[in-house]
Amino acid sequence: GAVVSQHPSRVICKSGTSVKIECRSLDFQATTMFWYRQFPKQSLMLMATSNEGSKATYEQGVEKDKFLINHASLTLSTLTVTSAHPEDSSFYICSASGQGGTNYGYTFGSGTRLTVV
Amino acid sequence: AQSVTQLDSQVPVFEEAPVELRCNYSSSVSVYLFWYVQYPNQGLQLLLKYLSGSTLVKGINGFEAEFNKSQTSFHLRKPSVHISDTAEYFCAVTPYSSASKIIFGSGTRLSIRP
């Protein structure tokens, strides 16, 4: 079945540094990838949608210069949190959709717990 | 625009009892419907989905859901729950397009008591 690998699963970084999170589709071509943020005991908030080879489309209120998304290939998308601050600490989840993926469903990565100290 | 309402934020149930998690949606266009489960510190796993056809959809782990167009509902049910079913459950919709964003409900925490 469709598998999405997300790394790292946990990361702790110092305030002011940047962190990159990778999302890979292992057995299908992900034409579209989505990045979500989840606060404790809350639902998933869509941050941005990226199509392979195009600029990401960010949701209202999400700073595109702070959350850099790259979708350079059909199997890899990255989210870079630049100049991270404690308020960026959260659970980040990617999902992928594309030919060979869950038909009209979305395969999710296992998430990345980011802690900024 | 679409929206999803999960009326119950928490549902406590005794082990081996039946459970129903409610989901209602609003949309001006036809949608696909999903239920996802999230275990602590993990991503989301697809339980089941409704695309078309039979309104009763069977998923993994013994769960099923029924699509009711007139009531715009997609309630999730299981006849007998286990401790391992303790998790967060999300109902979601997406309009008829293979790459449209998913709209999630606020989630229902299912806690199973022995």
Residue A104 contacts B where some CB pair is shorter than 8 Å:
yes
Q: What is the pLDDT of residue A29?
A: 85
Q: What is the pLDDT of residue B49?
A: 92
CA distance B87 to B39: 5
Residues of chain B positioned with their CB less than 8 A from the CB of A3 = none
Q: How confident is the model at residue B106 (pLDDT cuts 50, 70, 90)?
A: very high
- At B31 the three-state DSSP class reads strand
A40-44, B16-20, B44-48 — most confident range = B16-20
- At B97 the three-state DSSP class reads coil
A26-30, A90-94, A109-113, B97-101: range with lowest mean pLDDT: B97-101
Percent of chain B with pLDDT over 90: 75
**Average pLDDT over every residue of A91-112:** 79
User: Across the A/B interface, how many CB contacts are shorter than 8 Å?
Assistant: 55
Testing the interface with B: which of A33, A107, A108 to mutate, by most B Cβ within 10 A? A108
CA distance B34 to B53: 15
Residues 21-80 in A contacting B (C-alpha not used; CB under 8 Å): 31-32, 34, 41-44, 46, 49, 51
Q: Is the pLDDT at A103 greater than 60, yes or no?
A: no
**What would the pLDDT profile of B33-60 be if each residue is shown by its tens digit?**
999 999 988 888 999 999 888 999 999 9
Q: How confident is the model at residue A100 (pLDDT cuts 50, 70, 90)?
A: low
Q: Are B43 and A110 an interchain contact pair (Cβ–Cβ within 8 Å)?
A: yes
Residue B36 contacts A where some CB pair is shorter than 8 Å:
yes
Q: What is the pLDDT of residue B73?
A: 97
**Average pLDDT over every residue of A49-71:** 92
How far away is chain B from the Cα of A114, in angstroms, using its nearest Cα? 11
List, in sequence order, every beta strand (DSSP E) within A18-116: 19-25, 32-38, 44-51, 57-58, 67-73, 76-81, 90-97, 107-108, 112-116
